[in-house]
Structure formats: C-alpha cells, structure tokens
Chain A
Amino acid sequence: MVAPSSNLGASAPAPTSGEAIVVRGLEKSFGEWPVLWNLDLTVGWGELVALFGANGVGKTTLLRILSTQAKPDAGSIQVAGFGLSKNAQTIRRRVGVVAHQTFLYEDLSCRENLVHYGRLYGLEDPRNRAEEALLQLGLSNRADSRVRTLSNGMQKRLSIARAILHRPQILILDEPEAGLDRESIAVLRSLLEEWTDAGLSVIMTTHDLDLGLSWARRAAVLSGGRIRFPAADEYMDGAQVRELVASALEPSR
C-alpha cells in the first residue's frame, strides 16, 4: 500500500469560523425505546473526536443523524454551519461517511464505483478524482477489479476512498479501522492527520481504546443517551484521560 499523497484528499476549503458540528438537546427514540436524549456535542474545525461507547448506546444512530441518514425527534443540529432540518442536501455535499456497509456495487470495478459517486456529487473531473483517491488508498493496481473480487479490507479502503472523493469538510466514520490490516490502519491514520491539519474535522466511533485515544484530539463517551467528555477542552496527552474514558465505559458507571 502506498503512502498517501499530500493534499489529495483534504483539499476542501477549511472554514474559518464557527464549529464543524454543534448539537444541542438531541433526542431520538425507536418506538418506546429512547436511545439519545438531551444530547449535546460540539466538534471544532480541525478536531478529531473519537466517540466511545458500549454496544447499543446509540453511536451509530448519532452518526446517522449527523450525516442526514436519520431524523432526530428533537433538538437543534448544525453541521458545517448549516441547520440539519432545512439544509440536508447542502450538508450531504460537505460530509463524507464511512459506515459498516461499504455503499459499493459488487459488479462494478473500483474505478467505476468511484466515478459513479463522483458523478452523483457533480465533480468536474470524476475520473481524475477517482484515480487520485485510488492512489491515496493504495488501490491503483486494483482499479479495474470488480469489488466482489476484493478482500473485506480492500473493500473498506475503497469505501474510505469513496468517502473522501468529493473532498468533504467533515468525515463521519463508524469504526473505520474494522477489517483493516496494520498497514492500512497506518495509512488511514496518516490521512486523518492530514485531514485535521488542513483544518477539517473528523468524528469517529471505535471500540479500540488505544487506537481511538492515540488518534483523537478529544475523546467522548456516549453513555445513558448523553455524551460525556472526560477531558473536556483538553487535548489528549496522557494516561489520566485514558483512565477516565475506560472508567466511563464500565457498565457499573
């Protein structure tokens, strides 16, 4: 896998004012089952926030709401400076999403998948941009391979290439490291560092405490329907934060 080329992915203009994500009083239930309630969250520009939490606490639901895939029951949400309720289509241009599913078509090649999405996003030169994204994720030599012939890890890498294709300002990643080998994880980390260095933002969920804490500038724990910041307003720099996150993840707390 090749190392990421600089300025290939994180080249969207970085906003200079406001916050990347602002959530206030978010509530979401599935039937009678409340998942998120009175949830507040802020992600600044240039920040990578790692979101931890036990299974079923609503991490994926939160990310689906932020990416306009699900509607909140209540609360105010701003993504990239736009209100979610009235600007969903504008927000979709500004976020890139990596989820558990790859959003790829198995009978199309890697290049065809990316060109398809590039056209959907109205990119000026989707072919050229697809080649750049393939190069960045180390998939140039498999550009003409059908997705069904790729390993799960390679499909995940292609899914990341799809997410950065349109140069979004905010990346929303649901366990992006799942299924990736060590080399691919290193490339992903490098890409995310480049992303945040360019002033763009990332929010990601992970169950890997070590990985999340080493990548993130801020950690958040989702528990009991709300976000808990063990180290609010502090950048990750030590064992104390790790201790706080680990303790917040314990069921008894």
Chain B
Amino acid sequence: MNEFLRPIGVLLWKDILIELRSRDLVVSLLVFGLVVVVVFNFALNATPELVTEVTPGILWVAFAFAGVLAMNRAFVREKEEGGLDGLLLSPISRDSIFFGKAAASFIFMLLVEAVLLPIFAGLLNFSPASFTLILTIVLATLGFSVVGTLFSAISVQTRSREILLPVLFFPVILPVLVGAVESTKQALGGDTVVGLGHWLPLLGAFDALFLVICHWIFSIVVEE
C-alpha cells in the first residue's frame, strides 16, 4: 500500500475498533432513525400515492439528521484527548486524515441506513430492493460524509459545535439532499437508472466536486 492509502486504512480501522468497543455512535444513530420512522409512520396513513410523494422526504430527513449526529462525533472523539493533535503530529498527509475520517463516517452511515431502510420499507409499504434506490443512497451518503467531515473539523474547534455543524452543513449539502430526494422519488415510482435522467449523474458530480473542494479546504482548516 502506498503512503497515501496506508494511513487512510489505519485511521479507518482505528475508528471501527473504537466503535466496536463503545458502540455509542451506531446505536444512537439507529435509535434516532427508528424514532423518526415510527413517528412519521403514525402521523401518515401510508396509501400507495402518498408513499411515492412523501416517503423520499421522510427517508432523507431521517438519514440527513442521523448523518449530522454521526458527523458531530467524527472529530469530537479526536479532539477529546488530543487525538487530532496526535494525528497532525504524525508524518501523514492532511489528505489522508480527511479521507480516513470521511471513509469511517461513510461506512457508519451506510451501516445505519442498511438497517433502517428495510424497517422503513416495511412500515411504509415500498420495496427496498431497488438498484437505483441503493445507488442513490450510496452516492448521497458519500456526499454527506465528505461535506460533513470538513464541517465537523471546523465546528469541533468552536464551543457551540453542536449548533454550528448543522448550520454550516445543511445549506452546503442542499444540492445533494434535493438530488437524493428527487432520485429516490423516481426510484420508488419504478424508474430504472436509465430513466432517472439527470439526478443520479448530478449526485455523482456533486460528490466529485465536494471531494476535491473539501479535502483541499480541510488541509487549511486543521493547520493553525
């Protein structure tokens, strides 16, 4: 493994190991997501027409807010005992730190979404076994992880980080969120990848754009 990928793997494994020990992040995300799903299920009478119209919004409200919770923790853990300084002192590039943290957030969010999606589908009567839907979730989650990692690194250095993160995060992630909702709506309506038109390519384009911009800004943010 080269000097760029090796530290990413090291950081990813460290975050997985810590999560396996503490289980605080994934469990709290699951509980939060389940609460959102159950509350909306009771609030709405899920007719087939309503499912196509409302479900994408509910789904992404649950995923987006669970994502913010995940991002809040991403650098808090590093900051608490000076782990971030430890990382910055080690001879690895800032890019590796960024991609390592983003990869960990991506995996944790996908894990939570993989559990929530079938529950969501069962309660709101739609089929989760859609390649288009899964591709939409993967692309949108990638965008969330990349943008969230940057803003988590910024907000963790402030005292009001729990408030600052969503305030910074949601306006920037809005294109991804809109793309994800629209793409999900079309996927639940039975459209294939080909029939989705511009939404999936747009999600992919935003991911690529955010990957380039966010990792560049991250290097500046973490330096004093």
A-to-B contact residues, CB < 8 Å: 67-71, 89-90, 92-93, 95, 97, 99, 101-108, 112, 116-117, 119-122, 146, 162
On whether A105 and B18 interact (CB within 8 A), knowing A71-B224, A117-B90, the answer reads yes
B-to-A contact residues, CB < 8 Å: 3, 6-7, 10-11, 14, 17-18, 21-22, 77, 80-83, 85-93, 223-224
On whether A69 and B92 interact (CB within 8 A), knowing A105-B18, A108-B17, A146-B21, the answer reads no
Docked Cα-Cα span, A90 to B93, in Å, equals 11
Docked Cα-Cα span, A184 to B223, in Å, equals 34
Residue contacts A-B, CB under 8 angstroms, 14 given: A67-B89, A70-B224, A71-B223, A71-B224, A92-B89, A101-B85, A103-B85, A104-B83, A106-B80, A108-B17, A117-B86, A119-B7, A120-B92, A121-B90
Determine the chain A residues whose CB is within 8 A of the CB of B87 once the complex forms.
120
A103 touches B89 (CB 8 A): yes
Determine the chain B residues whose CB is within 8 A of the CB of A108 once the complex forms.
14, 17-18, 21
Neighbour of A92 across the interface among B14, B18, B82, B91, CB < 8 A: B91
4 closest Cβ contacts across the A-B interface?
A101-B82, A103-B86, A120-B90, A92-B91
A122 touches B6 (CB 8 A): yes
Determine the chain A residues whose CB is within 8 A of the CB of B7 once the complex forms.
119-120
| Total cross-chain contacts (CB, 8 A) | 70
Determine the chain B residues whose CB is within 8 A of the CB of A92 once the complex forms.
89-91
Determine the chain B residues whose CB is within 8 A of the CB of A89 once the complex forms.
91, 93
Determine the chain A residues whose CB is within 8 A of the CB of B90 once the complex forms.
92, 117, 120-121
A123 to chain B, nearest CB (A): 11
Determine the chain B residues whose CB is within 8 A of the CB of A103 once the complex forms.
81-83, 85-86, 89
Determine the chain B residues whose CB is within 8 A of the CB of A106 once the complex forms.
80-81
Neighbour of A69 across the interface among B6, B17, B88, B91, CB < 8 A: B88
Determine the chain A residues whose CB is within 8 A of the CB of B85 once the complex forms.
69, 99, 101, 103
B133 to chain A, nearest CB (A): 34
A68 touches B6 (CB 8 A): no
Docked Cα-Cα span, A69 to B222, in Å, equals 10
Docked Cα-Cα span, A69 to B80, in Å, equals 17
Neighbour of B81 across the interface among A101, A117, A120, CB < 8 A: A101
Smallest CB-CB separation from A118: which chain B residue? B10
A93 touches B91 (CB 8 A): yes
Q: By CB atoms of chain A within 10 A, which of B3, B14, B88, B91 has the most? A: B91
Docked Cα-Cα span, A119 to B87, in Å, equals 12
On whether A97 and B89 interact (CB within 8 A), knowing A71-B223, A103-B83, A105-B81, the answer reads yes
B10 touches A116 (CB 8 A): yes
